[in-house]
Amino acid sequence: MNIHEYQAKQIFAKYNIPTPKGIMVESVKAAIEAAEVLGGPIWVVKAQIHAGGRGLGGGVKLAKSIDEVESLATEILGMTLVTHQTTAEGKLVQKLYIEDGADIKDELYLSVVLDRKSEMPLIMASTEGGMDIETVAENTPEKIITIPVDPAIGFQGFHGRQLAFGLGITDKIEQKNIIKFAEKLFRLYMENDAEMIEINPLVKTGKGVFLALDGKMGFDNSALGRQPEIAAMRDLTEEDADEIEAAKYGLSYVALDGEIGCMVNGAGLAMGTMDTINYMGGTPANFLDVGGSANAETVAKGFEIILKNPRVKAIFVNIFGGIVRCDRIANGIIEATKLTDVNVPVIVRLDGTNAPEAAEILKNANIPNLIVGNDLGDGAAKAVAAAKGE
């Protein structure tokens, strides 16, 4: 689960992580009032969406007067912001963060992320603050510092010194400041079940104080049950409506940009199915895991969600019957076609428990556009061919 910048900074405040003062608003009038409360003389008007690259997209702008705050708030609030981290459709800006300007001497990058390779949190930092870390990694990877932190021992002084030296900070007071900053950030990460915290830029002021000028945070969905305050920050308007609808029926759904809808049981098999479709020359339109308790209702809802995507030209149903029996899935598919208008070819591959019975059920169903796949490769090949109209 992701949260907005203003919410991240609310959490930063609880850990005494310095940030510029700011106020979240949802109207132009409130933006003006917020600017007056902050006092200026410089303000930053920031769009609040769950995506990076807001500045390059025109969603972060500097104002030097109350009139400029009003003008920029009018311009940004309600705009559809497109960045390199949004889809081509962009995201509607419904909230703004009005923030004090800062005395910026240097811009740095600092984050704590989960490194799945080392199976521990990783502190990442760079002197190239304000830039996309992906661009830095590609063009000047030597400028990225990586410091793995074993959670069994936590953040230690040697981690902090490695960070300070890696960033080229030589002033003793500034070294202490950056070490304290990173220590607080790591504690925040661990105590809140975060998956990622990114501050870009982390600025050093003329007085040697480090400020989180930005804040991006993502959390482990599976841990939200023990993080009620974090869960309460969830903004459903920033999430995919189909993914939310799918979750209500126990379906794990992620939209992609291909032409072949996928309905599979099990995340591993779903990923293998998408890989096979790609190998056969097709493109998957989604990830959809119906889990181990699929029935006619969930299958019908899966068809309905998949078919909302106008790019879908075929659906590949790939089920391995272990917990769920294949004959049950076959009957679910038949019932689902009665509940939902499935107007594209449906390729079905069922294997495992009661697979022969399932094949007989589908054979006798006489469903138009239903094609049976003999195995994963055959089913994927038939789905690709159907999507191409062959």
Q: What is the 3-state secondary structure (H, E, C) of 206-231?
A: CCCCEEECCCEEEECHHHHHHCHHHH
Residues making up the binding site for substrate: 265, 322-324
Instruction: Give the start-to-end residue ranges of the domains of the chain.
Output: 19-101, 103-239, 241-387
Residues making up the binding site for Mg(2+): 200, 214
Catalytic residue among 198, 238, 259, 304: 198
96-153 pLDDT, tens digit each: 999 999 989 999 999 999 999 889 999 999 999 887 788 888 888 889 999 999 999 9
Residues making up the binding site: 46, 53-55, 99, 102, 107, 200, 214, 265, 322-324
pLDDT score for 63: 96
287-326 pLDDT, tens digit each: 998 876 666 677 888 888 998 888 999 999 998 877 778 8
pLDDT score for 293: 64
Catalytic residue among 97, 109, 249, 253: 109
Handedness of CA 57, 60, 64, 68 (dihedral sign): positive
Query: Which of 320, 319, 382 has its CA nearest to residue 347?
Result: 382
Arithmetic mean of pLDDT, 371-388: 93
340-365 pLDDT, tens digit each: 788 899 999 998 888 888 888 888 88
> Which contiguous run of DSSP H or E holds residue 330?
helix 326-339
249 counts as catalytic: no
Query: Which of 28, 19, 26 has its CA nearest to residue 69?
Result: 28
253 counts as catalytic: no
Q: Give the integer Cα–Cα distance in Å for 48 and 93.
A: 6
Residues making up the binding site for ATP: 46, 53-55, 99, 102, 107
179-230 pLDDT, tens digit each: 999 999 999 999 999 999 999 999 999 888 999 999 999 999 889 999 999 9
Q: Give the integer Cα–Cα distance in Å for 4 and 51.
A: 9
Query: Which of 294, 296, 291, 381 has its CA nearest to residue 345?
Result: 381
- Annotation: CATH topology of 241-387: Rossmann fold (3.40.50)
Neighbour count for residue 389 (Cβ, 10 Å): 8
Question: Which CATH number is associated with domain 103-239?
Answer: 3.30.470.20
Contact 12, 215 (CB under 8 A): yes
Contact 264, 318 (CB under 8 A): yes
Domain 19-101: CATH superfamily is ATP-grasp fold, A domain (3.30.1490.20)
